[in-house]
Chain A
Amino acid sequence: DTEVTQTPKHLVMGMTNKKSLKCEQHMGHRAMYWYKQKAKKPPELMFVYSYEKLSINESVPSRFSPECPNSSLLNLHLHALQPEDSALYLCASSQVILSRNEQYFGPGTRLTVT
C-alpha cells in the first residue's frame, strides 16, 4: 500500500476560525512532510517530521502549527489564517529523511480562507 490519505478534501474557513488538516500513511515511513502549493506553482516545503520529531521548519508563520501524534499521523493546525493562505496543502511521506528517498504524496486539501 503506497497511499497517503488526507482529510478533508476541501475546507473553507474564516480568518478567526481554528481548523485542522489530517494526513495518514501506513507504509511504515518515518519521515512526513507538509507542503503548500499555490496555483500553477511547485509545492513549497513547510515542515518535515523525522521519527515524530520536527526536523525542518521553513520559517512558516506561527498560525500554522504542525503535530505528529504518532508515526502514521500528521496534523496541521490552522488558526487566524489570512486569505493569502488559500492553497492546496499536500502531505507526503518517505522511508526516512534522506534525499535519495522518494516522497509519496497525498491528494491534498484545498483550503479557502474567507
Chain B
Amino acid sequence: AQSVTQPDIHITVSEGASLELRCNYSYGATPYLFWYVQSPGQGLQLLLKYFSGDTLVQGIKGFEAEFKRSQSSFNLRKPSVHWSDAAEYFCAVGGATNKLIFGTGTLLAVQP
C-alpha cells in the first residue's frame, strides 16, 4: 500500500538559515510526488512535483526537492528561509488508486 511519512512534526529555523524537510514514501512503482504548503486557515498551494526525469526539481518560492529512489525519499530544501515561509508543509504521493496520499505534515516556524 502507498504511504508517506514525514518524520518531523515541528521544525524551527532561524531566518536566513537553510531548510530541509524530510519525506519518505512507500510505493512499489515509480511514484508521483508532490510538496504542498498551507498557511494558517488557507488552502494548499503546490510547491513542486516529481514524475520522472531529473531527480532534482525546482519549485516556486525558491524551493527545490530531490528524489532519491534508493532511499525512498523526496526531501524539500530551501537555501535561505524567509519569515513568510512559516507554514505547514505536506508531502504527498499519487499512485495506482488515483488518490493523493498525504503525509502528516511538518509545521515550520521561523525565528527572527
Count of CB-CB pairs between chains A and B under 8 Å: 56
Contact indicator B46/A45 (Cβ below 8 Å): no
Q: A41-B104, A42-B103, A45-B99 are in contact. Are A100 and B32 (CB under 8 A)?
A: yes
For chain A, which range describes its interface: under 10, 10 to 19, 20 to 34, or 35 or more residues?
Answer: 20 to 34
Interface size on B, residues (CB 8 A): 24
Most buried by A among B36, B44, B104: B44
B residues contacting A by CB (< 8 A) are 32, 34, 36, 41-46, 49, 51, 90, 94-100, 102-105, 107
A41-B105 Cα distance, complex, nearest whole Å: 7
Contact indicator B104/A104 (Cβ below 8 Å): no
Contact indicator A43/B94 (Cβ below 8 Å): no
Q: A42-B104, A42-B105, A110-B41 are in contact. Are A100 and B99 (CB under 8 A)?
A: no
Contact indicator B43/A4 (Cβ below 8 Å): yes
User: Chain A: interface secondary structure?
Assistant: loop
The residue on A at minimum CB distance from B30 is A100
The residue on A at minimum CB distance from B103 is A42
CB distance from A89 to the nearest CB of B (A): 10
Q: Say yes or no for A66: interface residue by CB 8 A criterion.
A: no
Q: Of A6, A90, A97, A100, which is within 8 A of B44 by CB?
A: A90
Most buried by A among B42, B43, B96: B43
